[in-house]
Every structure is written in structure tokens, then in C-alpha cells.
Amino acid sequence: MGNFENIDTIVLVGMGLIGGSILKGIKESSYQGYVYGLDKESKVMEYAFDEGLIKNKDKVISPKGKCLIVFCVPALSLEEALKDLQSYDFLPQETIYTDTFSAKTRLLEFLEANSHLKQKFVIGHPIAGSEKSGIKNSSKDLFKDKLTLISPFKENSNQDISVVKGFWDSLGSRVLNIEPNLHDMIFARTSHLPHIISYSLMHSLIHKLGHEAFEFSGGSLEDYTRTSSSDPRMWKDVTISNKEEILSAIDDFISSLNTIKSFISQDNEIEIEKFLRGIKSARDSLIKEDS
């Protein structure tokens, strides 16, 4: 657990699916410190309190000792959440910050402009989630055996990095380091683009087929478009936070679509099969390497 056992207080800011799952995971762990939660919705805070996930029922909290603050709000809400925290004037001097955002560009810009915060902020991203949102859909096992990425700055101390790594270790995650600038390029293509494709496909199907969109799908379409049921506000923030890389990823995808579209329009059976066979072979090989 690294130095995580030395943390006296955890404060979760934002208690939706991710924040709620963290709280449930903490409750199941061996952590013995204080756990507080903050959320805009009073009903969410009451639920978390009634479930024994947090010590506070309202926004009156009193962190003690060494404190870890975890931001689980939508990416564009960080500054507002941080200002709310600082307005309480209650944070211990030894406070470490981390996040769960899937897009880091806006966060990096904010931290570069606030160097005093940057040295205590260890960027994090658990690769886990669901198309369902809200604390009531959270799970204590959401992060077990899942990958969590951390992106330390040179300004971060080894002790603070160890605390954040130990925190995710305690929830069952496998923790790896990744350069923060590389993070958004990768996830624009492996996560953000697939969600945008899913939303766009559903837009097309609803426009063309209406209520019959799933009537003849056999179940595969439901699986493929599952992510278009994800939290719209969160994904709006992702698209804005990682705008340039997502636009680049969309252009790459359009290029691939145009390639197969061209072969189909020409009735070019040889090139169609060659294209499909090449992609199948590449995917099968990649999946085999990972298994």
C-alpha cells in the first residue's frame, strides 16, 4: 500500500459512479481513517451517509492529519470544486490531491497556471466505468483487477506518488505510470472516439429507424451502442477537455471509413475482402498478445 496507510483523512469530491465506487471500495478495504464526501446533490450525500460510506451527512467536514483529496467531478468542474473546498479554509497543511478524469489537457493547463497546487497534485485515471451513472449504480469491485494510470510531475515528491499509488492498490487496481501529454492522445482513440462513434451511430439509427432501431438487431447492436447511454454531461466535458486529440481521432476514423466506402462504391470485392481480412488478422493478433 506504499505510504497510503499514513493518510488520516480521505475527502471524495463528487460521488457519482466513480466516486461512489471508490467509497464502497474503501469501506471494504482495511483503511482505518476518516472518510468524507462532498457533492452538489444533497440526496447523494444523504445516501452515502446512510450507507455508511462517509462520516458527514452535510458539507460540514473536518479533515485531520494527512489528507488525500480525490476529485471525481466532471473534468470542467475542477476549478469550481477546488474553489468550494478552499472556501472552507479547513484543509490540513499536509494535503495531497488526485483526480479520476479521462481527459487531462484542461487539467494540465490549470495546474501549469497554479504551480503551488501542481506540486501536490498527482494525476490519476482509473480505467473502469459503466454506461450507468450515479452513486446507486456504483460498485465496490469496480476497480478490482483494473488498470489505473498515474502521471506524476517532476514536482511531485516520491512520498506523494507513493500515497496515490497505494490508494489505488488498496482498491484492487494495477497501477502504471504514463506521461500526461501521451495520455490524451491514446485515450482520444481508445475511449473517447468509441464513445463518440456510439453516440453518432445511435443518432443515425434513431433518425432513420426511430422506435424500430433495435427491433431487428439480435442483441449485437445493443451491445455495440451501450456506451451511448453514458452520462452526457461527463462526455461533454471530455470532448471539450480533449478537443484537439479527439478531432484528430475523428479525422483518422473518417479516413478509414472513406477507404472502405470507396471499395464498396466500386464493387471492388478483392479490396473489400483484403481490407476486412487485414483488420481481422491485426485485431486477432493484438488480442492474443494481451491475453
- pLDDT tens digits along 24-73: 999 999 899 999 999 999 999 999 999 999 999 888 888 889 999 999 99
* Orientation angle between helical segments 232-241 and 193-209, nearest 10 degrees: 130
Intervals of CATH 1.10.3660.10 along the chain: 183-290
Task: Could you please state the CATH topology (level 3) that the domain comprising 4-178 is classified under.
Answer: Rossmann fold (3.40.50)
Instruction: Please say if the pLDDT value at position 114 is more than 70.
Output: yes
pLDDT given for residue 254 in this prediction: 97
Q: Calculate the alpha carbon distances from 43 to 17, 36, 58, 132, 278 in Å.
A: 14, 15, 10, 18, 52
Cβ-based neighbours of 268, under 8 Å, separated by 6 or more: none
**Which region among 89-93, 180-184, 213-217, 250-254 has the lowest average model confidence (pLDDT)?**
89-93
Measured CA angle at 100 (ends 96, 101), to 5 deg: 120
pLDDT tens digits for range 183-238: 999 999 999 999 999 999 999 999 999 988 888 887 889 988 999 998 898 899 99
Average pLDDT of the segment spanning 108-135: 91
Mean pLDDT of the chain: 92
Intervals of CATH 3.40.50.720 along the chain: 4-178
Average pLDDT of the segment spanning 166-171: 95
Residue 289 or 106, more confident: 106
Average pLDDT of the segment spanning 259-268: 98
By the 8 A CB rule, do 135 and 48 touch? Answer: yes
What is the rounded CA–CA span in Å between residue 67 and residue 78? 18
Cβ-based neighbours of 2, under 8 Å, separated by 6 or more: 162, 163, 165, 166, 169
pLDDT given for residue 88 in this prediction: 67
Class of domain 183-290: mainly alpha
